[in-house]
Structure 1
Amino acid sequence: MSTLDKETQDRINQWLSSEYDQETVSKIQQLVDQQEETELLDSFYKELEFGTGGLRGIMGVGSNRMNKYTIGKATQGLANYHKKQFPDQQISVAVSYDSRNNSQSFGHLVADVFSANDIKVYLFKELRPTPMLSFAVRHFGCQGGVMLTASHNPKEYNGYKAYWNDGGQLVAPHDKNVITEVNAIKSVSEIKFERKDSNIELIDADFDQIYIDANLALSIHPEAVKAQKDLKIVYSPIHGTGITIVPKMLNAWGFEQVAVVDEQAQPDGNFPTVVYPNPEEEEAMSKAMQKGQELDADVVMATDPDADRVGVAIKLPSGEYQLINGNQIGSLLTYYVLSSKKDLGQLKANDYIVKTIVTSNLFSDIAESFDVKFYETLTGFKFIGEVMTKVQGKENYLVGGEESYGFLVGDLVRDKDAVNACAFIAEMAAYFKNQGKSLFDVLISLYMKYGYYKEKLTSLTKKGKAGADEIKQMMADLRADLPKELGGIAVSEVRDYEKGEATDMKTGQKSKIDLPKSDVLQFITMDGDVISARPSGTEPKIKFYCSVRETLEFTEDYGQISNRLDDKVRQMMADIVKD
């Protein structure tokens, strides 16, 4: 006796019809015959949502999976929207893909559908990173673009990032309008799958040099690189697209000692040497750190499969290597860019930086100390890109980033760019080494100047429909019973970004938050500590971010204060993270 609800069963029956190819129908029928009801429910309980960043999901058959039909439908909806937005124009889009299983075939499928709709497609001949797709949209003057990637998700996932004509991911009103167009497609017969070769132009490896040269023009201290051309750099692409461009970029910058982690150099969608291809994870960085130790490297870096995020390990005075988090990487980059430009007399009155609401306030502290304006956005680099586009021509973007290891120096693209970041991290290491300082020395000096910020991210994974419902309930429970204190410290303010309001917990006074609505809760304590709760938009997770701060006066107190802040984080997190 089936326990599936009628809506799910109706979707299954639709997918068993002759509209779908025989291979798809056979796989679904097999699940039905074997009474795999949990798999059927997760595969069909909803349509795979074309969310505000595109699609992301597990590959397989079904309406809630990444496959030929869900990708075809998304692309047809996007094509329909482009035609409405750009009537009587020759529309063009750029398409790229990463090293994930099926990414190349999905990329060609997307190109087929666009071309069948008489849209010109600039299709990368081989896999290339997400930031190069953003760059290509701007370089070729395209109306949009699509990147096939699930970023750092596990190997069973794939995804579809949609871009607009500024090179940024879709934002309001286009995101919701495209979703409407996609949802308006009710039949497979409405999707044009027949490729028109005449509408497709391949982007070959010559394009790499255009991208490299544009980035190289942003270099702040080429003389430091020249002096430190033998800086020892270890790099891993973690089986992703970074191998196609990061070593070339570093060599073009002038670095001659770039050692690639051989075991992780080959693009491979099974990511055989890691559990998750995510440079936020210590396990994923372990081989690069091991090689760094062997070579006595100055800096160790690794990028995720689509090379938009970068993880970094730095050398401690003890000779050991330590991973630094996204807040630390971004703070170092922000300080390097702003201090260098000030020293060179290049800071302008209209310069600005950008960070997200869950990113360390150390970013904004640094900006304020240099009298540089800062913007704060919702989580997701597309919102940073949106700010860049809005103030383009009036204000000058310098650097921006988010705690999830995404950074960008200069405004060549409208997305996070680990290729660009790798080059600037290496240049920054060379510049400070030229002054006799390590990146660890610089980090400690930032803590002594601005306060020792310590952050921790805790993620709870909740898979499938049951997991999605549980995450929704967790946020509802938090809103229904707001914590009055965290770790024994009174909560002074609660910011509910879904309601668009901040509440003073002492007076009850409410004030408006001038950002788009988003399912995020933020708690600020009397000490100025911040804890944020946020369901992930790209993974089946709910995330809790904690940031605490204490004054650091003497270098020798670093270890003691670090331990004290760790204890504080643990106590605060215990009061809010309920699994």
Structure 2
Amino acid sequence: MEAGFSRMNDVTVIQASQGLASYLISECPQPGVVIGYDHRHNSERFAKLTAAAMIRCGIKASFGGAPAEGYTGAKITGCYSAGVMITASHNPAQDNGYKVYWGNGCQIIPPHDKNIAQRIEENLEPKCWDVGLVDRDGGVVRPVKQVTDAYFAALRELEVGLGCREDRRLQFVYTPMHGVGLSFMWRIATEMGLGDYMMPVSATPDPNFPTVKFPNPEEKGALDLAIATAERKGIHLVLASDPDADRFAAAEKLPSGKWHVFTGNQLGVLFAAHVISVYRKEGKDISKLSMLASTVSTQMLRAMADTEGFHYNETLTGFKWLGNRAITLEKNGYDVAYAFEEAIGYMFSPIVHDKDGIAAASVFLTMARQWAKEGFTVCQKLEQLYQKYGYFEAANSYFASPDPLVTKEVFAAIRKLGDPHPAKIGNRDIIKWRDLTVGYDSSTQNREPELPVSKNSEMITVELENGVRFTVRASGTEPKIKMYIECSASSSGKAKAGAQEVSEALTKEWFRPAQTGLKLP
């Protein structure tokens, strides 16, 4: 947040809102927008400026009256045309952001994103700076309680979560990372009869995030305080959400005394195994069950689908793709019970078609209680899954790029290593090659990718012999080139070694830091 047209400030928020308003008026007969915000610096102010822009354009505004509750309202858009959420999720304290949802409850994808961007360019002159307008306008709707109650009513019916009616005692530490999740987690714990067994840490919303260096549960050390608290209290489970409570993380104490922090992929397949178990227990046709993952997430879900018979589908990175794809599959008769991506994001339909850390927490507690009743810890259950479907280990990393031009040059050099693509990486032959920048896929009959192609982004996915698959892509939000490398094998050690071998080969053959100026973290 600072001055400038590429920063979050009053001007850019008003411009974005005016552009969105203009597009909604052209697309929707009676447009309405639901607006939510979190606890970050200036979030409430930016949300009020957004509402003012909508009101001035004659658009019905539904405004979240409290930070945590506003989060829910922005995702459950109901009969509204769009939703806006003011948040920077798990970014550093100095950041903020502006997320746009369409009327289907999903983050916007083409053509809406490009059309809105064009309308913003056509409406740059700020028309209304009145922060107090939303408080004075009698037409503003504030359905906070109704939306929150509807959200929890949906959670109670979630067959893989609160709908299971599991009743085993379970102690856990929970940290919302000084974000907005605590009030929701208290209600979850109470609904599950665990209100007396939850220990909050870093619980008070604070935009400065005073007890964590970086408010992201994925970051090394982010759960240290929660784990230390669990140690003192003799508790073996730690749960966490990021500041806007849409991501979920967990850790479990092992018999050795060490703590295992689950990766996003590990939680992803644990949730999937629970969904399968509930589906089979209820006698449903598993061929109608669909579960989704992003293309950079573990391929273990695909292996589970091959064994169990449910429908698997992958999308581009991000829940805007997962959510919209889920809706399409639902229209085609599938029960899309679950979707995830490796960046600790989990979606449980039909509550919201987006990642939801609160729903994920309720499902995690449900399955952990069930497995405890069966005599398993969560880590033991994960080992069972590996033994059944194979071991999948990742070697994910990134390179910091000094300049966007360098990133383009690096990817251009990769494409020149072979025609239509290189034959090998290290000692492994390339089996499949998909380039979503130029629009080429060696595995399809017409050599065209099934996933959307974008010439404005860099993304290559490769399958190698002996169970390795990787994706390299340019980050859309940071000056980075990201590597997602995974190897499947008959043991954890072999899988880790395979992934690491390919990581080293890519560094040497493709990214060549000494020559390109790319830097490892």
TM exceeding 0.5: yes
Report if aligned partners of 1:484, 1:491 keep a CA contact under 8 Å in 2: yes
Q: Which residue of 1 aligns with 2:105?
A: 167
**CA displacement, residues 520-565 of structure 1 (integer Å, 9 cap, x when unaligned):** 111221123112111222334321111111113xxxxx5x446635
**CA displacement, residues 348-395 of structure 1 (integer Å, 9 cap, x when unaligned):** 542211111111111122123221111111111111111122233422
Q: Which residue of 2 aligns with 1:534?
A: 473
- Superposition map of 1:26-45 within 5 A: none
Q: 1:260 to 1:573 in 2, by over 3 A?
A: farther
Report if aligned partners of 1:79, 1:114 keep a CA contact under 8 Å in 2: yes
Q: Is 2:230 aligned against 1:292?
A: yes
Deviation at 1:397, TM superposition (A): 1.0
**CA displacement, residues 8-62 of structure 1 (integer Å, 9 cap, x when unaligned):** xxxxxxxxxxxxxxxxxxxxxxxxxxxxxxxxxxxxxxxxxxxxxxxxxxx1101
Q: Which residue of 1 aligns with 2:504?
A: 571
Greater CA drift, 245-254 or 97-106 = 245-254
Q: Structure 1 CA distance, aligned partners of 2:198 and 2:406?
A: 45
Report if aligned partners of 1:303, 1:311 keep a CA contact under 8 Å in 2: yes
Report if aligned partners of 1:131, 1:415 keep a CA contact under 8 Å in 2: no
Q: Which residue of 1 aligns with 2:375?
A: 436
Report if aligned partners of 1:298, 1:429 keep a CA contact under 8 Å in 2: no
The code of the aligned residue for 1:369 comes to T
Report if aligned partners of 2:162, 2:363 keep a CA contact under 8 Å in 1: no
Q: Which residue of 2 aligns with 1:117?
A: 57
Report if aligned partners of 1:134, 1:413 keep a CA contact under 8 Å in 2: no
Q: Which residue of 2 aligns with 1:46?
A: none
Q: Which residue of 2 aligns with 1:100?
A: 40
Report if aligned partners of 2:39, 2:206 keep a CA contact under 8 Å in 1: yes
Q: Which residue of 1 aligns with 2:140?
A: 200
Q: Is 2:516 aligned against 1:516?
A: no
Q: Is 2:127 aligned against 1:185?
A: no
2:485 alignment partner, one of 538, 546, 558:
546
- Superposition map of 1:134-145 within 5 A: 134-138=74-78, 141-145=79-83
Q: Which residue of 2 aligns with 1:239?
A: 178
Q: Is 2:384 aligned against 1:451?
A: no
SS at match of 1:472: helix
Q: Structure 1 CA distance, aligned partners of 2:406 and 2:124?
A: 30
Q: Is 2:412 aligned against 1:473?
A: no
Report if aligned partners of 1:224, 1:430 keep a CA contact under 8 Å in 2: no
Deviation at 1:226, TM superposition (A): 4.1
Report if aligned partners of 1:282, 1:323 keep a CA contact under 8 Å in 2: no
Q: Structure 1 CA distance, aligned partners of 2:9 and 2:468?
A: 43
1:79 alignment partner, one of 16, 21, 46:
21
Deviation at 1:215, TM superposition (A): 0.7
Q: Is 2:114 aligned against 1:176?
A: yes
Deviation at 1:509, TM superposition (A): 9.1
- Superposition map of 1:77-476 within 5 A: 77-87=19-29, 89=30, 91-128=31-68, 132-138=72-78, 141-189=79-127, 195=133, 197-205=137-145, 207-220=147-160, 226-228=166-168, 230-262=169-201, 264-393=202-331, 394-462=333-401, 467-476=403-412
Deviation at 1:135, TM superposition (A): 4.1
Name structure 2 gaps, 5 residues minimum: none
Cα RMSD after superposing both structures: 2.5
The code of the aligned residue for 1:79 comes to A
TM-score norm. by structure 1 comes to 0.81
Q: Structure 2 CA distance, aligned partners of 1:291 and 1:362?
A: 33
Deviation at 1:489, TM superposition (A): 2.0
Q: 1:120 to 1:524 in 2, by over 3 A?
A: same
Q: 1:342 to 1:130 in 2, by over 3 A?
A: farther
The code of the aligned residue for 2:15 comes to K
SS at match of 2:67: coil
SS at match of 1:444: helix
Report if aligned partners of 1:208, 1:245 keep a CA contact under 8 Å in 2: no
Deviation at 1:103, TM superposition (A): 1.2
The code of the aligned residue for 1:480 comes to K
**CA displacement, residues 434-489 of structure 1 (integer Å, 9 cap, x when unaligned):** 10001111111111111100013213345xxx633333333333333365433432
Number of paired residues? 503
- Superposition map of 1:3-22 within 5 A: none
SS at match of 2:429: strand
Identity score, percent: 29
SS at match of 1:426: helix
Q: Structure 1 CA distance, aligned partners of 2:373 and 2:506?
A: 41
Q: Structure 2 CA distance, aligned partners of 1:241 and 1:452?
A: 36
Q: Which residue of 2 aligns with 1:490?
A: 429
The code of the aligned residue for 2:106 comes to G
Q: Structure 1 CA distance, aligned partners of 2:260 and 2:434?
A: 34
SS at match of 1:200: coil
